[in-house]
Amino acid sequence: MHAHHPDAAIDLVVRSGNEGLFDGHPFLHRLHVWDKRTHKTRNLLALIRALRRTSYDHIINAQRFLSTGLITVLARGRETVGYDKNPLSRFFTRTVKHVIGDGRHEVDRLNALIEHLTDGTRPLPRLYPTPNAREEARAHLSTWARPVPLQRDGHTSTRSHEHMSTWPHEHMSTWPHEHMAYVCIAPASVWSTKQWPEHKWIELVQAIPMDRQVFIIGAPGDTALAQRIIAASGRGVDLTRELGLLQSAALMEGATMNYVNDSAPLHIASAMNAPVTAVFCSTVPAFGFGPLRANGRAVETTEELDCRPCGLHGHSACPKGHFRCAEGIGVERVLAP
């Protein structure tokens, strides 16, 4: 939207816990945060009252939930746009068909909501870590990352691996350790059947070349998993309680590879144009949530399973009890270039 309407004041509504992604965002006018964890309904009504203080030209609803439908209908918008599957879509001034599984990426589905306001080209998502976020990531890197020893003319020097994703030139002045080699892994997922099993992550960490430092990233709730992986594999640095979302994004951008599930870190990597390998267990890339960039790839079982996919989001446990969609993915395939 900003690219086509640079003078527009763009407000954004996010669920509490995600606001850190937009800290210092250069194109946002105002960020509204809805706390759903406590007093969900009360906070929803307070949010609607706050939004009604502004008369919007366009209200774009990117979700299919009743709650966001209420926000769209009750806030003051000259045009209201949303998906046809929203329970309140009949009250929108413009609806867009929502289909999952037709090969389109989520970015295309989202772009369909605003293509009448743009030239219809597909923009790629992008995050904007603040200088402070980059500095926090750099501090951890300078403490823990390892330079890669390479032989040149009979002498050993410390430079990046030939396949390493180097730090973007515009950030070199604030990232003096661009030649440090490391990988990030984000082993957790909110949905158990979207999470590659713990023992697989342990095997992966053990198989990563020793000239790479291993950073484990995630939310504070992922700390126990991270520490078990480190204890069992004998290596790794737990940053689950150290880095916020933008700090993690900055760290991922400079990694030689980011290993993730079909989860939020995958999309953060895409938004940072960071190399990423995403493991898909119970879900499938055809849903439209796979890697977006040329330096990303999805790994999934090669076994034909009648039960896969077993749902759009996943389950707390494999409905069949065997979890073959995950157990059948070998570490060697995840590590393969």
Q: How far is CA 10 from the centre of its chain?
A: 22
Q: Give residue 141's pLDDT.
A: 86
The answer to whether residues 189 and 327 belong to one domain is yes
| Whether residue 303 has pLDDT greater than 60 | yes
The verdict on residue 1 lying in a domain is no
Whichever domain contains 32, its CATH number is 3.40.50.2000
The answer to whether residues 145 and 194 belong to one domain is yes
The verdict on residue 298 lying in a domain is yes
The verdict on residue 126 lying in a domain is no
β 155-158/149-152 pair status:
antiparallel
120 close to 112: Cβ distance less than 8 angstroms: no
The answer to whether residues 88 and 188 belong to one domain is no
The answer to whether residues 270 and 202 belong to one domain is yes
The answer to whether residues 101 and 188 belong to one domain is no
Question: What's the whole-model pTM score?
Answer: 0.87
The verdict on residue 125 lying in a domain is no
Q: Give residue 165's pLDDT.
A: 36
Structurally, the chain folds into a number of domains equal to 2
* Mean pLDDT of the residues in the chain: 90
The answer to whether residues 195 and 312 belong to one domain is yes
Of 70, 88, 117, the domain-final residue = 117
Q: How confident is the model at residue 53 (pLDDT cuts 50, 70, 90)?
A: very high
The verdict on residue 6 lying in a domain is no
Tokens of 311: 């749902």
Q: How confident is the model at residue 179 (pLDDT cuts 50, 70, 90)?
A: low
The answer to whether residues 275 and 152 belong to one domain is yes
Of 117, 140, 170, the domain-final residue = 117
Of 83, 117, 151, the domain-final residue = 117
The verdict on residue 124 lying in a domain is no
Range of the domain at 100: 11-117
Out of 24-33, 74-83, 97-106, 151-160, least confident range: 151-160
277 close to 157: Cβ distance less than 8 angstroms: no
Q: Give residue 118's pLDDT.
A: 94
180 close to 147: Cβ distance less than 8 angstroms: yes
CA distance 198 to 77: 47
The answer to whether residues 135 and 94 belong to one domain is no
Q: Give residue 112's pLDDT.
A: 96
